[in-house]
Amino acid sequence: MTAQAAPLRRAERALAIPPARLLAAVLAAVATLGSAFALAAVSAYLVTRAWTMPPVLDLTVAVVMVRALGVSRGVFRWLERMLTHDVALRGVVSLRTSLFTALASRTDDALTRLRRGELLSRLGDDAQELGDHVIKAIVPALVAAVMLVVVLATFAPLSLPATAAMAASLLLAAVAAPYFAHRAAALTEQALLTTRGDVTSHSLEILDDATSLRVDGRLDGALARLAAAQSAHDAAIDRAARPAAFAAAAVPASMVLAVTGSLLAAGAAWTAGDLSAGQIGILLLLPLSSFEAATALPAAATQHARSRAAAERLDALIGEGGGGDGSAPVPAERPATASLTARDLTAGWSPDAPCVRGLDLDLAPGSRLAVVGPSGSGKSTLLATLAGLLAPLGGEVSSDAASLREAVTMFAEDGHVFATTLRENLRVVRRDLSDDEALAALAAVGLDDWLATLPHGLETMLGPDGTTVSGGERRRLLLARAVVRRGPVLLLDEPTEHLDTARGDALLAALLTPGDESLVPASSTVVVVTHRPEAVPADTPVLRIGEPR
Residues 424 and 353 in one domain: yes
What CA–CA distance (Å, rounded) separates 401 from 408? 9
Q: Say if CB 372 and CB 533 are below 8 A apart.
A: yes
What CA–CA distance (Å, rounded) separates 203 from 208? 8
Collect all residues with Cβ–Cβ distance below 8 Å to 159 and sequence separation of at least 6: 262, 265, 266, 269, 275, 283
What CA–CA distance (Å, rounded) separates 132 from 92? 9
* Predicted local distance difference test score (pLDDT) of residue 320: 53
Q: Say if CB 418 and CB 386 are below 8 A apart.
A: no
Q: Say if CB 169 and CB 255 are below 8 A apart.
A: yes
* Predicted local distance difference test score (pLDDT) of residue 78: 94
Residue 381, in any domain of the structure: yes
- In this prediction, residue 400 has a pLDDT band, given cuts at 50, 70 and 90, of confident
- Over residues 236-249, the mean pLDDT reads 78
Give which of 82, 84, 110, 114 is closest to 17, Cα–Cα.
84
Residues 117 and 230 in one domain: yes
* Predicted local distance difference test score (pLDDT) of residue 276: 76
Q: Say if CB 462 and CB 418 are below 8 A apart.
A: yes
Tally of CB atoms within 10 A around 225: 16
Residue 415, in any domain of the structure: yes
Length of the chain counted residue by residue: 549
* Predicted local distance difference test score (pLDDT) of residue 513: 84
Residues 189 and 43 in one domain: yes
Residue 146, pLDDT above cutoff 80: yes
**3-class secondary structure, 76:** helix
Q: Which of 286, 318, 350 is the last residue of a domain?
A: 318
What CA–CA distance (Å, rounded) separates 105 from 103? 5
Q: Any idea what the Cα angle at residue 13 is, between residues 7 and 14, rounded to 5°? A: 85
Q: What is the DSSP string of 383-434?
A: HHHHTTSS--SEEEEE-SSS-HHHHEEEE-TT----SSBHHHHHHTS-TT--
Count CA within 13 A, CB hemisphere, residue 106: 21
Residue 325, in any domain of the structure: no
* H or E stretch covering 489: strand 489-493
* Predicted local distance difference test score (pLDDT) of residue 471: 79
What CA–CA distance (Å, rounded) separates 156 from 160? 6
Q: Indicate the number of domains in the chain.
A: 2
CATH code: domain of residue 94: 1.20.1560.10
* Predicted local distance difference test score (pLDDT) of residue 326: 46
Q: Give the lowest-confidence range in 254-258, 404-408, 428-432, 483-487.
A: 404-408
Each residue of 533-544: pLDDT tens digit?
Answer: 888 888 888 888
Q: Say if CB 70 and CB 39 are below 8 A apart.
A: yes
Beta bridge partners of 491: 410, 527
Each residue of 326-364: pLDDT tens digit?
Answer: 444 455 566 778 888 899 999 888 888 888 888 898 988
From residue 79, how far is each of 16, 72, 302, 430, 519 by CA, in Å? 21, 10, 25, 41, 55
Phi (first) and psi of residue 370, to 5 degrees: -105, 135
CATH code: domain of residue 415: 3.40.50.300
Residue 549, in any domain of the structure: no
Full domain range(s) for residue 62: 7-318
Residues 303 and 351 in one domain: no
Residue 179, in any domain of the structure: yes
Residues 421 and 536 in one domain: yes
Residues 287 and 372 in one domain: no
Give which of 451, 446, 449 is closest to 422, Cα–Cα.
451
- Over residues 389-405, the mean pLDDT reads 83
Beta bridge partners of 461: 421
Residues 246 and 370 in one domain: no
Residues 374 and 301 in one domain: no
Average pLDDT of the residues of the chain: 83
Give which of 168, 173, 138, 174 is closest to 155, Cα–Cα.
168
Residues 148 and 220 in one domain: yes
Amino acid residing at 494: E
What CA–CA distance (Å, rounded) separates 511 from 503? 12
* Predicted local distance difference test score (pLDDT) of residue 321: 47
Q: Say if CB 185 and CB 305 are below 8 A apart.
A: yes
What CA–CA distance (Å, rounded) separates 261 from 161? 7
| DSSP category for residue 11 | H
Residues 270 and 361 in one domain: no
Q: Say if CB 349 and CB 113 are below 8 A apart.
A: yes
Q: Say if CB 457 and CB 420 are below 8 A apart.
A: no
Residues 301 and 360 in one domain: no
Residue 333, in any domain of the structure: no
Amino acid residing at 18: P
Q: Give the lowest-confidence range in 28-42, 68-82, 404-418.
A: 404-418
Residue 334, in any domain of the structure: no
Residues 13 and 149 in one domain: yes
- In this prediction, residue 32 has a pLDDT band, given cuts at 50, 70 and 90, of very high
* H or E stretch covering 302: helix 297-318
Q: Which of 267, 285, 318 is the last residue of a domain?
A: 318
Residue 510, pLDDT above cutoff 60: yes
What CA–CA distance (Å, rounded) separates 482 from 488? 11
Residue 137, pLDDT above cutoff 80: yes
* Predicted local distance difference test score (pLDDT) of residue 406: 76
What CA–CA distance (Å, rounded) separates 60 from 531? 87
